[in-house]
Amino acid sequence: MQAQGARGNMGGWPVRPVSSPIHDVAAMLKRLLLSLPLLWLAACSTTYTPTLPDGRGQLSPASLPAWQQQPMGDTLLALKQSCKAMARKPAWQAVCADAARIPPEDGVQVRQFFETRFNAWPVRDGASSSGLITGYYEPLLNGSRSRSERTPWPVYGVPADLLVLDYPAALHGRSVLVARRSAANRLQLLPDKTVAGAGEVEIHPADFPVDRPGGKLKGRLSGNRLLPYYTRAEINQGKGVSTAPVLAWVEDPVELFFLQVQGSGRIQLEDGSFLHVGYAEQNGYNYQSIGKWLVDKGEMTLANASMQGIQAWIKANPGKQQALFGVNPSYVFFKVLPGGDSGPAGALGVPLTGGYSIAVDPRYIPLGTPVYLATTWPLSQQPLTRLVHAQDTGSAIKGAVRADLFWGYGSEAGMYAGKMKQSGSLWMLLPRGVTPSMAAAP
């Protein structure tokens, strides 16, 4: 659910609530790609090298911390979701076939399946085995299909004038690129051209806020030249969105901002039905943490820079709300998602499972990989260990030992997600015979 993110999907599907820390989170229920991470704590992006604790780089899952205490039913269900995408890969065919035959309520059989089918590989970032673990969730907003005094804030679909160009790393450093329109909002690069002809588009990559080679450039046409798309502050002033469909109108601009940060959510309409919206596109700017900005300005302490702390600050400073939102130039556009009884779709293309899906940096942990997570509950030293699954990405999730835990749907999930900034360790579980370098190969 890329919030890139993001993130997620909020249809009318029932959700089992998040349980207390004493009880395992039972199936708690899309990227932006983007959660409420504190970006100034982002992990390094050094090359991943697995440790070799037994000389072969492999551990039995049974040797992982608190492995024998783990409830296994929900993690098997999450693996079965991953298998919708992974079963086509040769290394995963037999694993996914076995998983499909195991009843999730048989905890002993599920545990034996993971122990006999997988090896665990510790994840390190350089010399460090510890990194930042944050959380994200699906918010619930009150809204309407029609604008009113009660619901004046628009949830936009993708503007017709927003154009997207794939920018390959191989062309990084070229001062001028040329492209042509290939679909409604897509540009196709003409790599051998440096001068735009009739009907073609001229692009100067230096104009765009790209943070590394490759990726996508997102912009708008001015004559035949592609310029960066409008920032959040400009969009909030009405620029660009005259060509964007309005999917719904909502009551609260603060909740709308966090819907964009999470990348997906549900909107409850007047008749009690739910509109499920998820990430469709983004304006091309990197996410900037408003929590970091408030800390840097001395408006709050690092310890208070949670989602709840930010909401309290906005309530106390209503006149500064739009200026604060403008600190983050990134803006997410949504699409209506189908309802149903499943979780939001992540970047892997399969529904996420609350409490058992994570967003990762796929440069280090391939999507679809089971990952054993050892961290602590939010604002606590109580251990939180479980086998989760890499099913999503996010623009703020960078580095090897870096994960964003999907907590599910609703206010209780939001409470945990908004407060989660914990230290943690990760182990990749790969099918036996598969090494991390093999798993990372395209």
Tell me how many domains the chain contains.
2
Same domain membership, residue 65 and residue 181: no
**Domain's final residue, options 211, 228, 245:** 228
Same domain membership, residue 277 and residue 257: yes
125 occurs within a structural domain: yes
316 occurs within a structural domain: no
Q: Which two tokens stand for residue 187?
A: 């540009």
* Dist. CA 65–CA 12, nearest whole Å: 37
Same domain membership, residue 247 and residue 224: no
Q: What is the DSSP string of 216-269?
A: EEEEEEETTEEEEPPPHHHHHTTSSGGGSPEEEEES-HHHHHHHHHHSEEEEE-
- For residue 57, what pLDDT is reported? 57
218 occurs within a structural domain: yes
- For residue 214, what pLDDT is reported? 67
Task: Report pLDDT digits (tens) over 202-252.
Answer: 999 989 987 566 688 999 999 999 999 999 999 999 998 999 999 999 999
398 occurs within a structural domain: yes
Same domain membership, residue 19 and residue 2: yes
- For residue 357, what pLDDT is reported? 96
Q: Which two tokens stand for residue 256?
A: 């709308």
Whole-prediction pTM: 0.68
372 occurs within a structural domain: yes
Same domain membership, residue 152 and residue 31: yes
Same domain membership, residue 151 and residue 76: yes
Question: For the domain that residue 44 is a member of, what is the CATH number?
Answer: 2.40.40.10
Task: Report pLDDT digits (tens) over 170-204.
Answer: 888 788 999 999 888 999 999 889 899 999 999 99
Give strand pairing partners of 3.
32
Same domain membership, residue 266 and residue 172: no
- ∠ CA 220-345-109, nearest 5°, is 155
**Domain's final residue, options 192, 208, 228:** 228
Same domain membership, residue 283 and residue 224: no
Same domain membership, residue 148 and residue 112: yes
Same domain membership, residue 174 and residue 129: no
Interstrand relation of 216-222 and 246-250 (parallel, antiparallel or unpaired) = unpaired
* Dist. CA 167–CA 122, nearest whole Å: 33
Same domain membership, residue 438 and residue 342: yes
263 occurs within a structural domain: yes
217 occurs within a structural domain: yes
* Dist. CA 330–CA 9, nearest whole Å: 20
- For residue 30, what pLDDT is reported? 34
Q: What is the span of the domain harbouring residue 437?
A: 1-160+232-289+328-442
Whether the CA torsion 176, 181, 187, 189 is positive or negative: it is: negative
237 occurs within a structural domain: yes
The residues of the chain scoring below 50 in pLDDT are: 2-56
Per the document, the length of the chain is 442
- For residue 345, what pLDDT is reported? 81
**Domain's final residue, options 210, 228, 246:** 228
H or E element that contains 391: strand 383-392
- For residue 333, what pLDDT is reported? 95
Same domain membership, residue 148 and residue 115: yes
